[in-house]
Structure 1
Amino acid sequence: MSMKRKPPTDNVRRVISLGNNFRGVTTNKRDRLVQFESEQERKLILLLERDPSVVDYVSQPETLIFSDGKGRQRRYTPDFQVWRVNGKIELHEVTVQSRRESHESLHEREAAAQLICQERGWQYVVHTDQTLPSDWEYASLDFLSAFRTQCYADIESANWWLEKLKGRGQIHPKLVLSQLEPGMKVNVLITSLYYMLWHGEIEMNWRQPFFWQGDFHLGASIWLPEGGER
């Protein structure tokens, strides 16, 4: 007898295999297991991870029941539920714009979800492949997400970066690293930079190439955010 794998805690179902869809499980900022069943959903996860206004989020949070235009009962499970630091709660859906435009049933379920959220005092948010990150932004998010955890935070390295960037404006990372003092470890400084970029302590242009063939892109630049000097 085959055994069905249970979904993560607080998920009402497992993600669906459509044959060639990009799906998996990851751990979010609150050490909660989160599912995704498309590359677009994973892009949203990366954005939620970076967003400091997001306290927590869960995938496949609940199944909404509503009636369609013909009076038939329908069931719909949004992709994510999000909790904000200001106490607001949101349901998020990820879809493909072309599919959204061509399927009337998607408009009906969106309208139903909007109404349910309005009654609860929540917000309903729809993301598409046209609004989610792509190209260089997605590449940088994907790479830097590996350095988002606290183990890559280093106080000495962080202070070094902040001191070297003070009053410099936009500058290439290698020009800053050329000022390395004896005894400092380049690898620790670089992973610390990645951590700080992810958390917005140092800024970069996310929509321009930053990495190229295992190194910083020639056009990469970093700078302190406004008011970011300690």
Structure 2
Amino acid sequence: MKAVPEFREFNVTKALSFDLPRSVRRIRPSVNSLTGRVASAKNGVIQDSESSLEQDFLTILEFDPFVLSYAVQPTTIGWLDENGRLRRYTPDVLAKHHPIPSLNSPAPKSVLYEVKPRAVLRRDWHELRPRYKAAMKWAKKRDLLFHIVTDTEIRTPYLGNARFLLRYSDSVLAKYGELDAEREHVIRSTLFTTGQATPRSLLTEITKDLSEQGRLLPWLWNAIGRGLVGCDLHQKLAMESPIWTLVPPETE
């Protein structure tokens, strides 16, 4: 069988380090989809995207605490079709996950993602299936996973919560001079003492001063975004959402 060359092959070890590869092809403005750029604190660079759906997925990766870093269009794969013709396919995203040092929970593999509207996937499945099969084989050889994600998985309440909470990340609060360890401590220690609460009830427990509640609230959103305070992020986050302690304040 004829060997299949792999175009613009990248060094997987390097790609999965902090020095992620640049896109193998330039993303240009399109009249058919909304291209854009996504600022990434995780990667320290601006990430291009080919569509609004891909932008939304990058937002989820940026927010997801289990994702260490990610790169857009990291490699192009070559394979032979049923007629022996050489074809090329470029996956949308490579994401590297934080290792989980546990005997019973090995570090998750890094994942190549294809981002596609479900309607397009259904309509063009016969044409798309061979390239995805080639990508799965390519990824398996390199100890990676290959996943397809659609608008059904991406455009959920979790995406809205991710967008909202990223506005209260450490890097954003630092720009406004709002880094205040004391406010974080009083929020987390009060929640740890009271048990399950809501944002509204927790702030009321801390102070009846509405101005001070307003100053504390960004730190509560920050703690939820960092995974220090628990909340069901698959439901729309609101002032009446149940919240609880995930990481006791004295153990961090």
State the TM-score, normalized to the length of structure 2: 0.75
Does the 8 A contact of 1:168 with 1:223 survive in 2? Answer: no
Does the CA contact (< 8 Å) of 1:79 and 1:92 recur in 2? yes
Give identity over the alignment, percent: 25
After superposition, residues 29-178 of structure 1 pair within 5 angstroms as 29-86=42-99, 88-103=109-124, 104-134=126-156, 136-152=157-173, 153-178=179-204
Q: Which residue matches 1:13?
A: 25
Partner of 1:4: none
1:149 CA displacement? 3.2
Q: Secondary structure at the match of 1:208?
A: coil
Which runs of no fewer than 5 residues in structure 1 stay unpaired? 1-7
Q: Give the secondary-structure state (helix, strand or coil) at the position aligned to 1:203.
A: strand
Distance in 2 separating the partners of 1:194 and 1:9: 32
CA spacing shift, 1:131–1:209, aligned 2, 3 Å: closer
* Aligned equivalents of 2:47, 2:212: Cα separation in 1: 35
Q: Measure how far apart 1:190 and its partner are.
A: 1.5
- Selected match of 1:22 from 34, 38, 43: 34
Letter in 1 for 2:35: R
Q: CA RMSD in A?
A: 2.5
CA gap of 1:164–1:114, structure 2 versus 1, over 3 A, is same
The number of equivalent residue pairs is 214
Distance 2:248 2:151 in 1: 32
Residues 68, 96 of structure 2: 8 Å contact kept? yes
- Unaligned 5+ segments in structure 2 are 1-19, 100-106, 174-178
Matched AA of 1:13: R
SS of equivalent to 1:166: helix
CA shift for structure 1 position 85: 2.8
Output one character per residue of 1:188-229: Cα deviation in whole Å (capped at 9) or x when no partner.
Answer: 422111211111111222233324xxxx3xx3232212x545
Relative to the length of structure 1, the TM-score reads 0.81
> In the alignment, is the contact (CA less than 8 A) between 1:158 and 1:196 conserved in 2?
yes
Quick check: 1:64–1:77 contact (8 Å CA) kept in 2?
yes
Q: Which residue identity is paired with 2:54? A: E
Deviation digits for residues 29-60 of structure 1, max 9, x if unmatched? 13122122223222322222233332211111
